[in-house]
Structure 1
Amino acid sequence: MSGKFELKKAKDGQFHFNLLASNGQVILTSELYKAKDSALNGIESVRKNSQRDGAFETKASSNDKHYFVLKATNGQVVGQSQMYTSAASCQNGIESVQKNAPDAALDDQSS
Protein backbone atom coordinates (compact mmCIF):
# COMPACT_ATOMS: atom_id res chain seq x y z
CA MET A 1 0.00 0.00 0.00
CA SER A 2 1.29 3.46 -0.81
CA GLY A 3 0.73 6.64 1.14
CA LYS A 4 -2.48 8.66 1.01
CA PHE A 5 -3.90 12.05 1.83
CA GLU A 6 -6.92 12.03 4.13
CA LEU A 7 -9.07 15.13 3.72
CA LYS A 8 -11.34 15.79 6.68
CA LYS A 9 -13.79 18.39 7.92
CA ALA A 10 -13.29 19.79 11.41
CA LYS A 11 -16.18 20.36 13.83
CA ASP A 12 -16.09 24.10 13.06
CA GLY A 13 -16.60 23.39 9.33
CA GLN A 14 -13.02 24.01 8.25
CA PHE A 15 -11.00 21.50 6.25
CA HIS A 16 -7.62 19.90 6.93
CA PHE A 17 -5.61 16.96 5.67
CA ASN A 18 -3.05 14.44 6.83
CA LEU A 19 -0.48 12.64 4.71
CA LEU A 20 -0.25 9.02 5.83
CA ALA A 21 2.67 6.70 5.11
CA SER A 22 2.03 3.24 3.68
CA ASN A 23 1.84 1.88 7.26
CA GLY A 24 -1.00 4.30 8.09
CA GLN A 25 1.11 6.57 10.30
CA VAL A 26 0.51 10.33 9.97
CA ILE A 27 3.67 11.95 8.60
CA LEU A 28 2.39 15.46 7.77
CA THR A 29 -0.56 17.55 8.96
CA SER A 30 -1.96 20.68 7.34
CA GLU A 31 -3.32 23.88 8.77
CA LEU A 32 -7.08 24.50 8.80
CA TYR A 33 -8.63 25.85 5.61
CA LYS A 34 -11.97 27.68 5.37
CA ALA A 35 -12.78 26.19 1.95
CA LYS A 36 -12.42 22.66 0.60
CA ASP A 37 -10.82 23.97 -2.61
CA SER A 38 -8.13 25.66 -0.52
CA ALA A 39 -7.38 22.37 1.26
CA LEU A 40 -7.17 20.59 -2.11
CA ASN A 41 -4.74 23.28 -3.29
CA GLY A 42 -2.73 22.63 -0.12
CA ILE A 43 -2.50 18.93 -1.02
CA GLU A 44 -1.21 19.83 -4.48
CA SER A 45 1.30 22.18 -2.88
CA VAL A 46 2.58 19.33 -0.68
CA ARG A 47 2.88 17.07 -3.73
CA LYS A 48 4.99 19.66 -5.58
CA ASN A 49 7.02 21.15 -2.76
CA SER A 50 7.94 17.80 -1.19
CA GLN A 51 10.25 17.33 -4.18
CA ARG A 52 11.82 20.80 -4.03
CA ASP A 53 15.29 21.32 -2.57
CA GLY A 54 15.18 23.49 0.54
CA ALA A 55 11.44 23.06 1.11
CA PHE A 56 11.84 21.25 4.45
CA GLU A 57 12.93 23.05 7.60
CA THR A 58 13.79 21.03 10.69
CA LYS A 59 13.16 22.52 14.12
CA ALA A 60 13.53 21.58 17.76
CA SER A 61 10.83 22.20 20.35
CA SER A 62 11.43 23.48 23.86
CA ASN A 63 11.35 19.89 25.21
CA ASP A 64 14.10 18.70 22.82
CA LYS A 65 11.72 16.98 20.40
CA HIS A 66 12.38 17.37 16.69
CA TYR A 67 9.91 18.18 13.94
CA PHE A 68 9.84 19.61 10.44
CA VAL A 69 7.73 21.95 8.38
CA LEU A 70 7.22 21.90 4.63
CA LYS A 71 7.18 25.32 3.01
CA ALA A 72 5.83 26.48 -0.33
CA THR A 73 7.98 28.62 -2.62
CA ASN A 74 6.43 31.75 -1.06
CA GLY A 75 7.65 30.65 2.40
CA GLN A 76 4.20 29.70 3.69
CA VAL A 77 4.07 26.51 5.78
CA VAL A 78 1.87 23.92 4.04
CA GLY A 79 2.39 21.10 6.52
CA GLN A 80 4.01 20.11 9.79
CA SER A 81 5.21 16.77 11.10
CA GLN A 82 4.60 15.07 14.39
CA MET A 83 7.22 15.33 17.13
CA TYR A 84 10.20 12.97 16.91
CA THR A 85 12.56 11.94 19.72
CA SER A 86 15.68 12.26 17.57
CA ALA A 87 17.01 14.26 14.64
CA ALA A 88 17.55 11.00 12.74
CA SER A 89 13.90 9.92 13.06
CA CYS A 90 12.87 13.43 12.00
CA GLN A 91 15.00 13.04 8.86
CA ASN A 92 13.32 9.69 8.21
CA GLY A 93 9.97 11.49 8.38
CA ILE A 94 11.11 13.98 5.74
CA GLU A 95 12.23 11.14 3.49
CA SER A 96 8.86 9.45 3.96
CA VAL A 97 7.03 12.61 2.86
CA GLN A 98 9.32 12.90 -0.18
CA LYS A 99 8.61 9.28 -1.08
CA ASN A 100 4.85 9.21 -0.41
CA ALA A 101 3.50 12.66 -1.29
CA PRO A 102 3.87 12.77 -5.12
CA ASP A 103 1.72 9.70 -5.85
CA ALA A 104 -0.43 9.54 -2.71
CA ALA A 105 -4.09 8.86 -3.35
CA LEU A 106 -6.76 11.22 -2.03
CA ASP A 107 -9.18 9.79 0.53
CA ASP A 108 -11.89 12.45 0.85
CA GLN A 109 -13.64 11.97 4.20
CA SER A 110 -14.97 15.53 4.36
CA SER A 111 -18.54 14.82 3.20
Structure 2
Amino acid sequence: MPFSFHYGLSLMCLTMLVTQVCPQCNQTNEGSLKYAEGPYPPCCMTANNATINEPVNDCFVHYEHTFPHCPIHAYILRTKNDDRCVDPTAWWLQQRLKKLEARGICCKIL
Protein backbone atom coordinates (compact mmCIF):
# COMPACT_ATOMS: atom_id res chain seq x y z
CA MET A 1 0.00 0.00 0.00
CA PRO A 2 1.54 3.36 -0.99
CA PHE A 3 2.26 5.95 1.68
CA SER A 4 -0.51 8.55 1.64
CA PHE A 5 -0.46 12.16 2.75
CA HIS A 6 -3.30 11.55 5.20
CA TYR A 7 -1.49 8.61 6.77
CA GLY A 8 1.67 10.70 7.19
CA LEU A 9 -0.26 13.60 8.67
CA SER A 10 -2.07 11.28 11.08
CA LEU A 11 1.20 9.71 12.15
CA MET A 12 2.76 13.13 12.70
CA CYS A 13 -0.18 14.29 14.84
CA LEU A 14 -0.11 11.13 16.90
CA THR A 15 3.62 11.55 17.48
CA MET A 16 3.12 15.14 18.65
CA LEU A 17 0.38 14.08 21.07
CA VAL A 18 2.43 11.27 22.54
CA THR A 19 5.63 13.26 23.02
CA GLN A 20 4.66 16.18 25.24
CA VAL A 21 2.92 19.49 25.49
CA CYS A 22 6.22 21.43 25.16
CA PRO A 23 7.77 20.26 21.87
CA GLN A 24 10.56 22.84 22.01
CA CYS A 25 11.59 21.47 25.41
CA ASN A 26 11.63 17.86 24.19
CA GLN A 27 14.81 18.26 22.23
CA THR A 28 18.35 18.32 23.55
CA ASN A 29 21.24 19.67 21.52
CA GLU A 30 21.69 16.22 19.99
CA GLY A 31 18.03 16.14 18.90
CA SER A 32 16.96 13.30 21.19
CA LEU A 33 14.14 13.39 23.72
CA LYS A 34 14.89 15.18 26.94
CA TYR A 35 14.58 12.84 29.89
CA ALA A 36 14.65 13.90 33.50
CA GLU A 37 17.97 13.81 35.25
CA GLY A 38 17.82 12.64 38.89
CA PRO A 39 16.73 12.86 41.56
CA TYR A 40 13.49 11.44 40.26
CA PRO A 41 10.20 12.11 41.98
CA PRO A 42 8.42 9.02 43.26
CA CYS A 43 6.10 7.34 40.80
CA CYS A 44 2.38 7.88 41.14
CA MET A 45 0.29 4.98 42.34
CA THR A 46 -2.85 7.10 41.92
CA ALA A 47 -3.58 10.43 40.26
CA ASN A 48 -6.42 12.86 40.77
CA ASN A 49 -8.17 15.67 38.92
CA ALA A 50 -8.08 18.26 41.72
CA THR A 51 -6.67 21.61 40.67
CA ILE A 52 -3.38 22.80 42.12
CA ASN A 53 -3.39 26.39 43.34
CA GLU A 54 0.24 26.50 44.45
CA PRO A 55 3.03 27.66 42.12
CA VAL A 56 4.62 24.77 40.24
CA ASN A 57 8.43 24.65 40.17
CA ASP A 58 8.97 21.59 38.00
CA CYS A 59 7.04 19.06 35.96
CA PHE A 60 7.56 15.40 35.12
CA VAL A 61 5.53 12.83 33.25
CA HIS A 62 5.68 9.10 33.56
CA TYR A 63 3.87 6.65 31.39
CA GLU A 64 2.34 3.37 32.37
CA HIS A 65 5.14 1.03 33.47
CA THR A 66 7.92 3.63 33.22
CA PHE A 67 9.13 1.97 36.37
CA PRO A 68 8.20 -1.65 37.14
CA HIS A 69 5.99 -0.64 40.06
CA CYS A 70 4.25 2.35 38.39
CA PRO A 71 0.93 1.16 36.99
CA ILE A 72 -0.48 4.46 35.66
CA HIS A 73 0.20 7.39 33.33
CA ALA A 74 0.48 10.61 35.33
CA TYR A 75 1.93 14.10 35.39
CA ILE A 76 3.90 14.99 38.49
CA LEU A 77 3.77 18.69 39.32
CA ARG A 78 6.39 19.65 41.87
CA THR A 79 5.40 22.49 44.20
CA LYS A 80 7.35 24.04 47.06
CA ASN A 81 5.71 21.67 49.54
CA ASP A 82 5.33 18.36 47.67
CA ASP A 83 4.84 16.44 44.43
CA ARG A 84 1.29 16.20 43.10
CA CYS A 85 0.19 13.36 40.84
CA VAL A 86 -2.28 14.58 38.23
CA ASP A 87 -4.44 12.53 35.90
CA PRO A 88 -3.52 13.36 32.27
CA THR A 89 -7.24 13.75 31.49
CA ALA A 90 -7.80 16.44 34.16
CA TRP A 91 -9.84 19.23 32.57
CA TRP A 92 -7.47 21.98 33.70
CA LEU A 93 -4.09 20.30 33.06
CA GLN A 94 -3.46 21.29 29.43
CA GLN A 95 -4.08 24.98 30.20
CA ARG A 96 -1.76 24.78 33.22
CA LEU A 97 0.96 23.10 31.14
CA LYS A 98 0.73 25.94 28.60
CA LYS A 99 1.20 28.49 31.39
CA LEU A 100 4.19 26.55 32.71
CA GLU A 101 5.66 26.40 29.21
CA ALA A 102 5.34 30.20 28.95
CA ARG A 103 7.43 30.38 32.15
CA GLY A 104 10.03 28.02 30.66
CA ILE A 105 8.94 24.97 32.69
CA CYS A 106 8.36 21.90 30.55
CA CYS A 107 7.57 18.38 31.64
CA LYS A 108 10.47 16.00 31.55
CA ILE A 109 9.87 12.38 30.67
CA LEU A 110 10.83 9.87 33.33
After TM superposition, the score normalised by the length of structure 1 is 0.27
Whichever of the two has the greater Rg, that structure is 2
TM-score normalised by structure 2 residue count: 0.28
Please identify which structure carries the higher strand content.
Answer: 1
